[in-house]
Structure 1
Amino acid sequence: MSGVSLAVAPRTEPDQANTTEKPQQKSPPNRLQNTPEQPLLGGVGPGVMGSLRIIELQLVAFIMMFSVSGLVPLLDLVFPAFTTAYLLALARFAFPSHGHASSSASKELFQGSNLFRLYVIMGTTVGLFLPLAYVLGGFARGDEYAVRSATPHLFLLSFQILTENIISGLSLFSPPVRALFPMLYTVRRIFVIIDWTKDVWVNKTLPANAQLKGVAWYWFGRCLAMANLVYFSINLFVFLIPRFLPRAFERYFMERDEVRAKMAEDKRPAAMNKSRPADKKDD
C-alpha cells in the first residue's frame, strides 16, 4: 500500500498468462477476490484514474519536471534511489519472495470495503490533485512560497505511486517489502509536509491590502497543508503500522511455512524410494 495508492487494476503475471492446459470451470465472480491491490498514497483506488500506462507517463512527466525545476531539495532527489536500493537488498537477503504464490497472494493482502475506497479517493484528492492545482496556481500567481513548499511533496508522491505500480506486477518483492515501501515514503513525506505547513503558517504573511481572492488563496494553502499533514499522519499511524504491516508479515511467514511443509512432503517419497533398494539387498 502506499501512502495512499494509485487505483489501477493489477497487472497480469507472466505465469498466469500461461496457465494449465486443462480448461478450468468458471467460478462465480467474487468482488473481494477481484479487488486489486491499492497502494496507499501513495495512491488511488481502483478505476479512478484510468489507464495505467497513461498514468505512468504522466507521473514520469511530473517527476522530470520537478527534478529539473530546482525546487526539490537534494535530499528528496536522492531519497527514491536510496529507498529502492534498500528495498532491493531487503528483497534479496532479508525477506526473499516465495515465488509466484507470494506475488498473487500479496494482491489479496488487504481487501478494502467501499468505505476504504472512499478513504483512498479522498487521500488522492487531498494529496495529489489539490497540491498539483496549488502548485500550478502558484506559478500563475507568482507565489514562490506555494510552488517551493508543495513541490517536494508532489515529487516524492509521484515517484512513490509510479514505483508502487511497477513493483505490483513483480514477484521479486514479498509482502513485507511491499508494505515497507509506502511506509518509508510516507514517513519522509510527513517531514516534508511539516516544512510545507511551516512555510504557509509561519513564514508566509498576508499583505495588509490583500483582496478577497488573495485571502482565499492564502487560506487555501494553509488548509491544504494541514489537511495533508493530518491525512498522512492518520494513514501512517492508524493504517500502515498497526494494520497493513502486521498483515504483510503474517502472510509472508504463513507462505514460508507452507513452502517448507511442501518441501518436506516432497522429500519423504524420495527417502522412501532410496530405502527400498537397500532393504532388498539385505534380504
Structure 2
Amino acid sequence: MSGGVPPPPSSTLLSFQHLTSAAIAITLAISGMVPIQHLAFIPLSFFYTLFLSKTAYPTLSTTLPPPIFAAHLRLLTAYVSVGAVVGLVLPVAYIVHGVLNDDTEGVKPAAPHLFLLACQVVMEGVTFAGGFSLPVRVFVPVAYNAVRMYAVFDWVKSEVVKGGGRWLSLANLVFWGFNLFGFLLPVYMPKAFKKYYDDVKDKDT
C-alpha cells in the first residue's frame, strides 16, 4: 500500500498489495457504485502518464535512483501503514458490512474514494516497476489524491446526513488532505523535481 506516498524501492507490480488493490478496483467498477467520471479518469490518467514519460520527463537512467526519503524509512513506513488502514482496510470493511446488511445505497458514497485509491496503488506500481522518471512518479499520487479529495468531500457530505460512517469519512478527509497539501505538494514534489533536474545537469556535463 502506498496511498499517495512513494512505495519502497523493492515494490513490484505483481506484489500482494497491487493485486489486492486491482481486485478491489475491479469489484467496485463492476458493482455500479462508482460514477462514470471516476471510471473515465483511470484510462485518461494512464495515457497522460505515458505522454509525460515520453515527452516532458523521460527516464534518464535504467537504474532506479535511491529513495528520496532514505533517512526516514521507518517514519515513512508508519505513515504508509496509517494510510492503508484509514484509506483501504476500514473503507473495505465499511462497504462489505453495508452490503451484507442490505445497505448498499448507504455505503455507496464511500466507493468512489476506495476505487480511486485502489487504482492509484496499482498505477504507482506500474510507474515504479516500469522505471518511470521521478516527476512522472510524483504525478500519479498528486493527480489521484487531488481527484479523490472531491470524492471524499462528497462522502463526508453524505455521512453528515446519514451518520453511519461519519468518523471514517472525516478521518479520510483529514489524512488525505494532509497528504496532498502537507506532504506531496510542499515536500515530495520539490524534492523529486530537484533530484530529477540535478540528474539532468549531471548528464549534460
Corresponding residue for residue 90 of structure 1: 52
1:75 aligns with 2:19: no
User: Does the aligned pair in 1 maintain the 2:8–2:67 contact within 8 Å?
Assistant: no
Deviation track 1:233-278 (CA, whole Å, cap 9, x = no partner) reads 00011100011000111011111011111xxxxxxxxxxxxxxxxx
**Structure 2 residue 61 is the aligned partner of structure 1 residue 110:** no
Task: Show the counterpart of 2:185.
Answer: 241
Among candidates 183, 188, 192, match of residue 151 of structure 2? 192
Q: Which runs of 5+ in 2 are unaligned?
A: none
Q: What's the TM-score once normalised by structure 1's chain length?
A: 0.67
Matched, 1:57 2:22: no
CA separation of 1:255/1:6 partners in 2, compared to 1, >3 Å: closer, same or farther?
closer
Match of 1:46 in 2: none
Distance (whole Å) between structure 1 residues aligned to residue 135 and residue 79 of structure 2: 23
Q: Which residue identity is paired with 2:110?
A: A
Q: TM-score, normalised by structure 2?
A: 0.91
Q: Does 1:10 align with 2:11?
A: yes
Q: Which is higher, the Rg of structure 1 or of structure 2?
A: 1
> Is the aligned partner of 1:143 residue 2:103?
yes
Query: Contact (CA 8 Å) 2:123, 2:140: kept in 1 or not?
Result: no
Q: Check 1:7–1:128 CA distance in 2 against 1; reply closer, same or farther (3 A cut).
A: farther
Hey, what's the Cα distance between the residues in 2 that align with 1:64 and 1:140? 19
Contact 1:6-1:161 at 8 Å conserved across structures: no
Shift of 1:141: 1.6
C-alpha deviations, 1:161-191, integer Å up to 9, x for none? Answer: 01211221222x2111111110000000011
Q: Offset of 1:93 from its aligned partner?
A: 1.0
Identical pairs, percent: 34
Residue by residue, what CA displacement relative to the aligned partner does 1:64-109 show, whole Å, maximum 9, x if unpaired? 21111111000000101111111211111111111214xx11x412
1:8/1:226 Cα in 2 relative to 1: closer, same or farther (>3 Å)?
Answer: farther
Contact conserved, 1:2 with 1:181, CA < 8 A, in 2? no
Q: Provide the rounded CA distance (Å) in 2 between the counterparts of 1:255 and 1:4.
A: 22
- Cα distance change on mapping 1:259 and 1:83 into 2, 3 Å: same
Query: Quick check: which one's helix share is greater?
Result: 2
Structure 1 segment 166-177 matched on structure 2, within 5 A: 166-171=126-131, 173-177=132-136
Count of aligned residue pairs for this structure pair = 203
Kept in 1: contact 2:3–2:83 (CA 8 A): no
Mapped to 2, the partners of 1:254 and 1:138 lie a distance apart of 50
Query: Using the alignment, how far apart are the partners of 1:195 and 1:114 within structure 2?
Result: 33
What residue is the counterpart of 2:176 in the other structure? 232
* Alpha-carbon separation, structure 1, partners of 2:4 and 2:20: 19
CA displacement 1:190-219 (0-9 Å, x = unmatched): 1100000001103x26xxxxxxxxxxxx2x
Contact kept, 8 Å, 1:128 with 1:157, in 2: the verdict is yes
Superposed CA RMSD: 2.0
